[in-house]
């Protein structure tokens, strides 16, 4: 599923439909085969379009990857920001972010693994990197605010962030590779574990 919500009818294939199919196919193939293991003709075949049609929307595989990364990054952080709109304390904000991310990754598992796979990729452009840094500012602000209020342990902010990200990523990996059932109760327990690990 693409980050954008599009209505697809059976009567005609619109430009938006084609773009959606191309980007969905690319997302799946990048996760399945990696960047080098995915070719433009393969993306076009899975999308049910000609290779030339794909180039009408994305002039290269690099541009397509960056477009996908930007779309899903924006969609995710917009969801987190909306979830934390009524939060007033670091604890409330942390909880809102945590559970919004759980819901987002459950709804869009392929996008999540694409994000994990390519967040350190050399194929991300400077523009994509700048956009990612800007979109993560509210998340960094949570840790900065918590540190200023002496809510968190006196550790570098990247370490505090890593504690949350590390457990979250490992749980998703166990779900994917070992069949771990991540129930709402388990996610709440994991959130509490992380909070206890980072708070004073």
pLDDT for the residue 144: 92
Helix, strand or coil, per DSSP, at residue 121: coil
Q: Which residues contact 154 (CB under 8 A, 6 or more apart)?
A: 147
Backbone angles phi, psi at 199, to 5 degrees: -80, 160
- Neighbouring CB atoms inside 10 A of 72's CB total 22
- C-alpha–C-alpha distance, residues 89 and 77, integer Å: 19
The CATH architecture annotation of domain 69-198 reads Orthogonal Bundle (1.10)
Backbone angles phi, psi at 45, to 5 degrees: -60, -45
Question: Could you give the angle at the alpha carbon of 105 between the alpha carbons of 100 and 108, nearest 5°?
Answer: 125
The domain defined by 10-59 folds into: Arc Repressor Mutant, subunit A (1.10.10)
* Domains of the chain by residue range: 10-59, 69-198
- C-alpha–C-alpha distance, residues 123 and 183, integer Å: 35
pLDDT for the residue 109: 97
pLDDT for the residue 14: 81
pLDDT for the residue 8: 37
Q: List the pLDDT tens digit at each of the 200 positions of the chain.
A: 455 433 333 444 588 899 999 999 999 999 999 999 999 999 999 999 999 999 999 999 999 999 999 999 999 999 999 999 999 999 999 999 999 999 999 999 999 999 999 999 999 999 999 999 999 999 999 999 999 999 999 999 999 999 999 999 999 999 999 999 999 999 999 999 999 999 99
Helix, strand or coil, per DSSP, at residue 6: coil
pLDDT for the residue 184: 97
Place of tokens 């969905």: 24
pLDDT for the residue 11: 40
């Amino acid at each position: 599923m693409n980050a954008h919500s599009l209505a697809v009818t059976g009567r005609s294939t619109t430009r938006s439909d084609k773009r959606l199919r191309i980007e969905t196919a690319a997302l799946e193939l990048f996760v399945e085969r990696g960047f080098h293991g995915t070719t433009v003709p393969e993306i076009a075949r899975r999308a049910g379009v000609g290779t030339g049609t794909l180039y009408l929307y994305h002039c290269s595989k690099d541009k397509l990857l960056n477009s996908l990364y930007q779309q899903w990054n924006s969609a995710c952080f917009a969801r987190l920001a909306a979830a934390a709109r009524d939060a007033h304390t670091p604890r409330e904000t942390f909880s809102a972010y945590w559970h919004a991310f759980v819901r987002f990754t459950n709804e869009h598992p392929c996008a999540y693994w694409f994000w994990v796979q390519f967040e350190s990729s050399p194929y991300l452009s400077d523009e994509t990197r700048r956009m990612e840094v800007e979109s993560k500012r509210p998340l960094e602000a949570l840790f900065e605010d918590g540190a200023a209020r002496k809510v968190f342990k006196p550790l570098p902010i990247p370490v505090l962030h890593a504690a949350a990200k590390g457990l979250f990523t490992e749980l998703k990996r166990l779900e994917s590779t070992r069949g771990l059932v991540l129930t709402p109760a388990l996610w709440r327990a994991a959130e509490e574990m992380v909070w206890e690990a980072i708070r004073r």
